[in-house]
Structure 1
Amino acid sequence: MIILKLTGGLGNQIFQYAYARFIQEMYNEPLFFDTTAYKKYKIRNFSLFNLNISKEIQDIQFSGLNKYDFVRLKIHQKIYRAYQRFYKLTFERDATGERNFLKYSRKGLYFTFDRQYYSSIKVDKRIKCIYGYFQSERYFENIKNEIKTELKVITKPSEKAQFYLNEILSSNAIGVSIRCGEDYINSHLNVCSKEYYYKGMEIIASKVKNPVFYIFSDNINVVKEFYNFKYPVKFIDNLPDYESLRLLYSCKHFVIANSSFSWAGAYLSDNEQKIIVAPSKWYKNSLRNPDIYLKSMILVEV
């Protein structure tokens, strides 16, 4: 049995799901979702069931997991999270390292919030648990075609979303993802300036005929007030996360923020000639860049 502890917004859920599917392929065992974090986590919603995910996956309540094992896994997760935070603060490093990942993996606990890719080993444990972000295509590269199919939105679009979708599909649509919510501005993630987006749009406009820029943001009102775009733009607002995801990956080219959601939107695009502009740095104070970057990305200095 494989249990995926889910946390974070839709972008993080997508990375977690993709890695869990890789682990499921490794073991050929049932996969269960643990979504209990969303009972208290009100900032983001659990949205994976709006995607074309495997129909065989069920909630942890149907796993038959006994109370003792459930509590044991929760304790392991809390201990790991506390250790990881302590390690980062004490040693001023942004990763606990592959050795630590392997130590946990040998117990059937695939735990890591590190920003680097680590190889996964197969172990003889009755219960396997996945907890972390796993933000790199390298984790699921050998099943990426299946993953791209399973991560497409299947929930019927609203009338408003369908209107946007028709527009996007009939134009040279460029998805521009701008993060400017308080959780971004006041954190180590705040690396993308207005100039970054202006430069990214210039790069796309120099390579694409008749581009139409669609702006996606977690605070669209801030973008409308403080950004002065050189090119005409259209704003996508007041839609659920999965609706925005579908519109984003339906665009042909991308200027992404350093966010898992905008990464996923660009990654899921079916345009084989897509241009993806990304910031040269993903975190403010990183000693090294994470493994989230794709080789095809055009990096703009930030």
Structure 2
Amino acid sequence: MKIVNFKGGLGNQIFFYLMCLYLKESCPKNKIYGNYNSKLLCDHNGLEIQNIFDIELPPETIWSKLVTIFARGASRFIKGVKADDNRFRLNAIYYDGWWQDKKYFLNHIAYLKFREVKLDKTNDKLLRTIQTTNSVSLHIRRGDYLLPKYKKLYGDICTLQYYQSAIHIIEDKMDEPYYFIFSNDIKWVKKNIHLKHAVFVENNTGSNSYIDMFLMSWCKANIIANSSFSYWGAKLNVHQHQIVVYPKKWNQIQTPDLFPNEWYGI
């Protein structure tokens, strides 16, 4: 038995699901379960990955919940019961990390396919414009990243200077780029970033927020934030050779091994 703990928003849930596939492949004799604690999933839109992608999540049973409680407590005294990002063990029972490392998911990304996305008139028009222009998604995450509990870890990385440098790279490599700007602080973006051709995408909120990721995946280039949401918007891109610019520094502690060599790091 192996149990993967799910937490956070959609971008992180993708990493957890892919870890389940990694464990299933690496330990075929073990049954894989998920731990879906609503308290760990409430900051965003709850557990939503199974509604957005054509996947089936590992089950959660009363037995797996009891084993989770045991594993959390026993991990303080018994080595090997729990695995995390710093102590990965294939013989562990409970997996509680973020799993932001290419080695855990590169062989399984093909399993991630969006379910049929029903677009309203606004998003349908956006998608058609994205498909017919030299479209560039630009993701700016502020909002929760400005809260004290997150700012020390994720703040002061994707600065205005970062975006200006990223835009310079794009404009050096693309003719007439057309920017589609995604942010949880559009007001700040409009005040600080001025582009010739730009659309501010601000109509997808709440349970429809995932449509932003879907639209990002159709752009011909991506400027991402230090955010798993825009990372997957770029990684799941439908174009085989799109241009991607990313921050070399992912957080204030470490930068995981996530980025293809052909992406441009700043």
Per the TM alignment, residue 158 of structure 1 is displaced from its structure 2 partner at its CA by 3.0
Structure 2 letter corresponding to 1:270: V
Please give the alpha-carbon distance, in whole angstroms, between the structure 2 residues aligned to 1:47 and 1:40: 9
Shift of 1:40: 6.9
Superposed CA deviations along residues 97-125 of structure 1, whole A, max 9, x for unmatched, are xxxxxx85x33x3323x5xxx7x5543x7
- Alignment partners' CA distance in 1, 2:139 and 2:173: 19
Aligned runs of 1:145-184 on 2, under 5 Å? 146-147=108-109, 149-159=110-120, 160-184=122-146
Give the counterpart letter for 2:118 in structure 1. P
Amino acid paired to 1:216? F
Task: Determine the C-alpha separation between the residues in 2 that align with 1:17 and 1:40.
Answer: 14
1:51 paired with 2:52, answer yes
**Residue of structure 2 in register with 1:84 after alignment:** none
TM-score (normalizing by structure 2): 0.84
Deviation at 1:73, TM superposition (A): 3.3
The residue aligned with 1:134 is: 99
Distance 1:230 1:220, change over 3 A: closer
The aligned amino acid for 1:245 is M
Question: How far has the Cα of 1:59 moved from its partner?
Answer: 3.6
Cα pair 2:19 2:99 within 8 Å, conserved: yes
Distance 1:247 1:211 in 2: 16
Tell me the SS of whatever aligns to 1:4: strand
How far off its partner does 1:32 sit? 2.8
Any gaps of 5 or more consecutive residues in structure 1? 81-102
Aligned equivalent of 2:265 = 299
Q: Which residue of 2 aligns with 1:15?
A: 15
Q: Does structure 2 conserve the Cα–Cα contact (< 8 Å) formed by 1:152 and 1:246?
A: no
Is the contact made by 2:246 and 2:265 (CA closer than 8 Å) also made in structure 1? yes
Question: How many Å separate the matches in 1 of 2:64 and 2:112?
Answer: 31
1:65 alignment partner, SS class: helix
**CA 1:129–1:161: 2 relative to 1, 3 Å:** farther
2:210 equivalent to 1:242: yes
What does the per-residue CA deviation read over 1:191-215, in whole Å, with 9 as the maximum and x for residues that have no partner?
Answer: 1111211221121122112321111
Contact map agreement 2:41 2:47 (CA 8 A) in 1: no
In structure 1, the partner of 2:83 is 110
Other-structure match for 1:233: 198
**Contact 2:141–2:184 under 8 Å retained in 1:** yes
Q: For the residues of structure 1 that align with 2:22 and 2:217, how far apart are their CA atoms?
A: 22
The residue identity in structure 1 corresponding to 2:218 is S
1:223 to 189, 196, 205: 189
C-alpha distance 253-23 of structure 1, shift in aligned 2 (>3 A):
same
Using the alignment, how far apart are the partners of 1:163 and 1:58 within structure 2? 36
Deviations 1:147-201 (A, max 9, x none): 2x33332143231333322221222211111111143464131211112112211
Q: Which runs of 5+ in 2 are unaligned?
A: none
The aligned amino acid for 1:15 is F
CA shift in 2, pair 1:53/1:110, >3 Å: farther
Query: 1:174 touches 1:253 (CA, 8 Å); kept in 2?
Result: yes
Count, aligned residues: 257
Normalised TM-score (structure 1): 0.75
Identity %: 25
Q: Are the structure 2 counterparts of residues 172 and 249 from structure 1 closer, same or farther at C-alpha, using a change threshold of 3 Å?
A: same
Q: What is aligned with 1:94?
A: none
**RMSD of equivalent CA atoms:** 2.7
Match of 2:178 in 1: 212
Aligned equivalent of 2:37: 36
Which one of 250, 253, 257 corresponds to residue 282 of structure 1? 250
Match of 1:270 in 2: 238
Aligned position for 1:69:
67
Contact 1:38/1:46 (CA < 8 Å) preserved in 2? no
CA distance in 2, matches of 1:39, 1:2: 19
Deviation at 1:66, TM superposition (A): 6.0
Q: Distance in 1 between matches of 2:17 and 2:65?
A: 24
Residues 196-207 of structure 1 mapped to structure 2, 5 A cutoff: 196-207=162-173
AA aligned opposite 2:179: F
